[in-house]
Structure 1
């Protein structure tokens, strides 16, 4: 066998041998990280054109069938890859799949995976050991179906309450987020790793995002869209946003994804972070000495064709006016290793042949990419067992662990039910009536109930557009009519209210109306009802402040933590009140951890 095929050699030696054998076209294909739809999972095409024709061997899974079927898909792709000239195995990646949020661009619920809370709920537990345990369980399920790169966690900080992706963060406090990120990465990648570094055959590589921090976005709008393309640093607080990334890199994060956004007001070039040499070469490679894979955020150059839904635009903010060839040259000059969402190796080939990049520059990226494939053991055994996948994904023990984390993340905001055992009849909203029937007789009218239990999502403004609708953005206040309705309901029957805090909702007026007010970050109905009926104690602590009004939010600075005036509930609630100084709060929390 060739040296690169010999498992007795180090990953470095194997990568060097294989790199010397690659053509420019094969190198360029390794720098493409495409998307893959498994729309018809029970039929396997004879070819995957991006793999067999172009040589692309990295794919982000957009859809996922049942575990055994997905395992067979992985094996089929690996068969196709084994038949190519050098037999380079496929690396499959995935956005988060173990929470409660479904967004076609950021998180998915398909595949039957065990469910914990959203990452913001992991932060609410303030328990790094529990987070590491759940992340390790996630990794077992992902590996079972062939996924070897997690396109998460998010190291962004939730300092702008309106941002639509706060549910994927670890909160507003840099110390808490840092501790949770380190635990999460250790769980995914394994504590020890393999002989060549932090990754081994039992690892799922973590791709930390969105460097240098996506939470400080102007007015909370998301950079998936042109109106959200600008970062905002009115408090000159970039250093605070870098701290969770420092913790992630210290924990051994294998890969990093820069964001779409333009880092306005930081002193760095005002182009999207993926195109930004100041961000990647200056900060990530230079200051932090990171030599792992840097993959751009997806569909930066070409947009995305969604089957049956049409073409979505590119997200090349700050360089839209430049020819495509110049944009590619900027990515390579910024030391990007992989182009997320791309399956066009010719873009990179043309950059080399035109002189915009050297082949030595391409070699540096390919070496990093190959090292991760070797460290993950893909060259030695890329196949998975479909029967084992069916047994592993959604196994009873992992489901139970996820439910434990859901329960531990639930936050008791205010109030209590004095005698829940006296409740005989229930009126419920947004709760499965069959689940509620385990706790009392479910009635159709509030006036016939002893207790009303209502679950609500944090408020948001519904936007127009295919993708915009999936991002909760805008106002954090409930419409006046909804607030009045809830108060009227509470005047009719004692009310237990649970709000899904994917963003820091404005709940002013509701603690006075509801007998019990809970916050959740993704929890099953029976877990919420157990807390309502006193069968389980809500164990979570708020991972951010809950503002008292939208005016306070609008007057706060996007990059500053704990910056809304007179919050209704403070970070860490219901623990001891946070000191007035955010810096002192961080120290206190760090001491608790």
Structure 2
């Protein structure tokens, strides 16, 4: 789109191509003034397009993908020019240069729409380790840090702020201007699959980290260097019945037998105080919940007017964007797998009725949907008023103006390649990984603490890159010939793969497999054994802990970072952000909504040993 200088001191983008600077194009006006002007000019079709936020994929070499992708459903031109959608959650990114090139191509395409509304590119977390196309991506070209649970293990809000600032700069360099995070749910049910992206179970610390995170990503207020945050999942997604996740029909119920609903609200209240741009409600359906003596309708939170309008808008005073979680209206069909629409409690409603209920509840954007024709029909049929569309379009446009997208949505490909994943950010991420290592046991080996490891010892290892290990020790193939054995394992889960995305979500029992327990104890009987367990959720470690010489917990830590911590090259300072229960029985007798409430935990929240 052409940039025109109207007066010597004012340059602007002539977004509607009329040769003059209209108020919405004037960078000297406030975001509110520009929003009001543009909203008055938009067609119904343009306003409806603002209310959809769906998945997009990058084409080869940073080109626009003009065919359905692995997850995205339509060619890019169809959704941008045909449906006038301009909010997209980008999936896999191979390189910073490619992502920057793609962003620029996408913004040039968006400039062809009637008023040149720029695209807001959003992303799930992508600076850590967990790869789950429904929730997060591994770092790839970006600097790599512990997952959020690992950041919480640092017990340092300044570290959280530093991460957020570096991630913000990397996002903006490639054109990402909205983060579909932080995830500030309290990890109150040990079996719940989505704990790794939370800040743990301590409400006070989660409030503290939420504040630091938003400050790092957004600053004091949204501006052209900010990344807008979508804080999720309101009103707290941790209290899942039996720990099953609400992505799936068997996990639709959220329960509050401990009476702690208000505790789960605290991080969201902090996010609102600190100006979060948007909030995302979860799929979960509250069962038996009352607020101030009023029974809450047992429908998913995205459909729930008492929760979104009564609680979030009116009681908590939030006037930002409410973006629903993905696919509340239509089933998600990918290849030969189906994931039913998360229409919990309203399964009997058709797609039109679900859309009406979502808007009546108070949501502004439909996550994961692109059915603009459905909403247009509802307006044309008089079921949804254009005034209601305007209400949400105003909120959405305001964020775009605050982020500076109307003035310059383009990025520098060379600068992106130089900044994203640069040596300094990678060093900081590696340092944070090492410090997040949480030492749970440090026994004696020949009268000396097992950790830190002595230099040059013979080590038998599993689950580690031997080329990394060889930098500090001598790898051996037989545990009987080693001075010490180091084995990295993952937290246990029950494999499931019937519904789309299900295989990515680690659910079910937290018990170690009997064969693994036997094998670890057998090795420990002949060789001092140090086990590192990667915790994307808690594990039941009672069957092995007594046999081990050393035990560490990690929450997104590379072999390099772990070795630095085990050898004392970098001092591990991690403290457990969640408790590790003693048994499944203890979990089953605890309240899913009450954080850190299992009886006699093996390791309590906050536990961690110093080895220096």
Q: Are the counterparts in 1 of residues 54 and 370 from structure 2 also a CA contact under 8 Å?
A: yes
1:22 aligns with 2:22: no
Query: Against the structure 1 CA distance between its residues 167 and 418, is the aligned structure 2 distance closer, same or farther, given a 3 Å change threshold?
Result: closer
C-alpha RMSD over aligned residues: 1.6
Q: Is 2:297 aligned against 1:297?
A: no
Match in the other structure for 2:16: none
2:229 paired with 1:201: no
- For 2:609 and 2:363, how far apart are their aligned partners in 1? 43
Mapped partners of 1:54, 1:295: distance in 2: 19
1:248 maps to: 271
Please give the per-residue CA displacement for 1:41-93, whole angstroms capped at 9, x wherever unaligned: 44435762100111101101122231101101100010011111110001000
Question: Is the alpha carbon distance of 1:34 and 1:163 closer, same or farther for their aligned partners in structure 2, counting shifts above 3 Å?
Answer: same
Residue in structure 2 matched with residue 443 of structure 1 by the alignment: 476
Give per-residue Cα distances to partners, 1:76-132, cap 9 Å, x unaligned. Answer: 010011111110001000000011101110001264111111101111111111100
Q: CA shift at 1:340, angstroms?
A: 0.5
Q: Which residue of 2 aligns with 1:332?
A: 359
Q: Does 1:55 align with 2:80?
A: no
Quick one: distance in 2 between partners of 1:419 and 1:428? 16
How much does 1:408 deviate?
A: 2.0
2:301–2:307 Cα contact (<8 Å) kept: yes
1:165 is aligned to 2:199: no
The residue that corresponds to 1:105 in the other structure is: 134
CA 207–422 in structure 1, closer or farther in 2 if over 3 Å, else same: closer
CA distance in 2, matches of 1:462, 1:218: 19
Pairwise CA distance, 1:515: 1.0
Task: Identify the range of structure 1 (319-328 vs 206-215) with the bigger mean alpha-carbon deviation.
Answer: 319-328
Q: CA deviation at 1:409?
A: 1.2
Work out which of the residue numbers 203, 217, 239 in structure 2 matches 1:216.
Answer: 239
Aligned counterpart for 2:170 among listed residues 141, 146, 169: 141
Matched, 1:515 2:543: no
Residues 1:229 and 1:419: Cα distance change in structure 2 (over 3 Å): closer
CA distance in 2, matches of 1:516, 1:531: 13
Give aligned pairs, total. Answer: 569
Instruction: Please name the residue that 1:7 is paired with.
Output: 27
Does the 8 Å CA contact 1:207/1:256 hold for their aligned counterparts? yes
SS in 1 for 2:285: coil
What is the aligned counterpart of 1:283 among 296, 311, 333? 311
C-alpha contact 2:63 2:101 (8 A) present in aligned 1? no
More moved, 521-530 vs 134-143: 521-530
How does 1:82-481 map onto structure 2 within 5 Å? 82-109=111-138, 111-190=140-219, 192=220, 198-267=221-290, 268-306=296-334, 308=335, 310-415=337-442, 416-417=449-450, 420-421=453-454, 424-465=457-498, 466-481=500-515
SS in 1 for 2:60: coil
Per-residue deviation at 1:393?
1.0
How far apart in 2 are the matches of 1:419 and 1:184? Answer: 32
SS of the residue 1:263 aligns to: strand
Q: What displacement does 1:309 show?
A: 5.5
| Deviation readout 1:329-354 (Å, 9 max, x if unpaired) | 10110111100111121222222222
70-79 or 472-481, which moves further after superposition?
472-481
Q: Tell me the distance in 1 between the aligned counterparts of 2:597 and 2:338.
A: 39
Q: What SS does the aligned partner of 2:542 have?
A: coil
Q: Distance in 1 between matches of 2:235 and 2:609?
A: 31
- TM-score, scaled relative to structure 2: 0.91
- Alignment partner of 1:567 out of 601, 604, 608: 601
Q: Structure 2 unaligned runs (5+)? A: 1-20, 67-75, 291-295, 443-448
* Contact kept? 1:216, 1:559, Cα under 8 Å: yes
Instruction: Quote the offset at 1:312 in angstroms.
Output: 3.2
Cα distance in 2 for residues equivalent to 1:87 and 1:305: 32
Distance 1:217 1:443, change over 3 A: same
Query: Which secondary structure state, in structure 1, belongs to the residue aligned with residue 546 of structure 2?
Result: helix
Q: Deviations over 1:260-298 (max 9, x none)?
A: 110112121110000100110011101111000000001
Shift of 1:310: 4.8
- 1:64–1:110 Cα contact (<8 Å) kept: no
SS of 2:287's equivalent? Answer: coil
Check conservation: 1:144, 1:385, Cα contact below 8 A: yes
1:482-522 CA distances to partner (integer Å, 9 max, x unpaired)? 11111111112111111111111111133321111111111
TM-score by length of 1: 0.93
Distance 2:338 2:177 in 1: 28
Q: 1:39 to 1:320 in 2, by over 3 A?
A: farther
Local SS of the residue matching 2:541: coil
For each residue in 1:438-485, what CA deviation from the matched residue of structure 2 results, as whole angstroms up to 9, or x when unmatched? 122211111121111111111111113242111011111101221111
